[in-house]
Structure 1
Amino acid sequence: MIVRPPSETEAEGVVAELYAEDLSDDGVVFSHTKAMAINPEAERAFEALIGAIVPSIGLRVYELATLGAARGIPSPHCLLAHGRKALRAGVFDEAQLERVAVDYGDAGLSEADAAVMRFAERVSTDAAGMTDADSQALRDQGFSDRQIVDIALAAAARNYYSRALRALAVPVDRMPGLSARLSTALLTPMRD
């Protein structure tokens, strides 16, 4: 990574808060946190955006949209980080998360969950080609207008963050709490 983030000993203010959050959760400051700490106000604004999205769709749908979008990019940073977040939050157990990572269409997800992942993945791969039919697939699964918008925002936000990390060549960290087998499964889209 060519950009030079503040070191842990140099961190002050919001940067120190960002680093402290990683340290308290995992005992390490992740590379993506360090890169985004160069503009900590943008990082906090991103967190506020996510905070405005999640209440209408819930954590499960948010993580499904995030994983779907991360698959489409593909983003190793977000596949690993959000795989772990989904696991920690109880959205999936390890066996189901592995199945979702390898092939969400054959992972025993509900039709609604699979529709969210398909929609979010398409945001990452062909947003310009999307039509009302893509949103209708979510509506057919019972999602409200607000939820459809927030699923689109969750996927678009993942694109923003993931693509910034990729553009800056931020190293991909080993993710504590993920087995080697699950990490490999989560990175399946990187090999496709």
Structure 2
Amino acid sequence: MDATGFLRAPDPTADTQRLYDEDIADLGYVMNLTRLWAHQPATADGLFDLMRSSLADQGITQRQRAVLVAACASAFGDSYCSLAYGTRLADAAGEQTAAGVLRGNDDALTIAEQALAGWARKVARDPNATGEGDVQKLRDAGFDDTQIFAITVFVALRVAFSTVNDALGARPDAALGANAPEAVLGAVTFGRPVSA
């Protein structure tokens, strides 16, 4: 296994180069997971479009989205997305709050964010174990049924994304590990190690 996973590099095409160029423009480097998803650029585009559209016009903030992904990814055992979204959550809410979410402690979150984190973990760990009471907690926190559906779709798509990355050996980027706050790094004790 190398940093990008178990697969060989995809054949170069205009679409693979577009994905790489987008990463370089946004981050200054090509992410390991982009090299993996470059095997099917149209699938990557479609999945990310679907994730974006699932929460479009639902009133979910960037901070709430970071809570959803950090809680989902850590419950699922995905180090890559846990580091990425733990860092985003740290930027929005502080590194101790982010580290808490990654460890399953939501005390520093708002009531609405606690409901989101709890739901994301349940969906990621055992969706058949959810019940009406779990949905009611989201309603009580201010989310309507359309939002609850959208949130659930988003979390399920994140699980699918993480499943592909993890199964094919994508390791978190060295830059991601270097830029993550210390408390976030300390909370991510699972999944694949950061690239050298």
What does 1:12-27 correspond to in 2, within 5 Å?
12-27=13-28
Residue 184 of structure 1 corresponds to 186
Q: CA offset at residue 182 of structure 1?
A: 2.8
Equivalents in 2 of 1:178, 1:126: separation in Å? 29
How many residues are aligned here? 183
Residue 102 of structure 2 corresponds to 101
Percent of pairs with identical residues: 26
Give the residue type in structure 1 aligned to 2:50: L
Equivalents in 1 of 2:20, 2:147: separation in Å? 32
Equivalents in 2 of 1:189, 1:133: separation in Å? 30
5+ residue gaps, structure 2:
192-196
Instruction: Indicate whether 1:64 and 2:67 are aligned.
Output: yes
Q: CA offset at residue 150 of structure 1?
A: 1.4
Offset from partner CA, 1:117-142 (integer Å, 9 cap, x none): 01000111110111222111100111
Residue 8 of structure 2 corresponds to 4
- Relative distance call for 1:73 and 1:103 in structure 2 (3 A) is closer
TM-score (norm 1): 0.85
Equivalents in 1 of 2:169, 2:73: separation in Å? 16
Q: CA offset at residue 40 of structure 1?
A: 0.6
Equivalents in 1 of 2:190, 2:151: separation in Å? 21
- Relative distance call for 1:112 and 1:35 in structure 2 (3 A) is same
Q: CA offset at residue 181 of structure 1?
A: 4.0
Equivalents in 2 of 1:150, 1:189: separation in Å? 28
Give the residue type in structure 2 aligned to 1:38: H
Q: Secondary structure at the match of 1:61?
A: helix
Report the aligned-residue RMSD. 2.0
Give the residue type in structure 1 aligned to 2:180: L
Moved >6 Å (runs of 4+): none
Q: Secondary structure at the match of 1:104?
A: coil
- Relative distance call for 1:181 and 1:64 in structure 2 (3 A) is closer
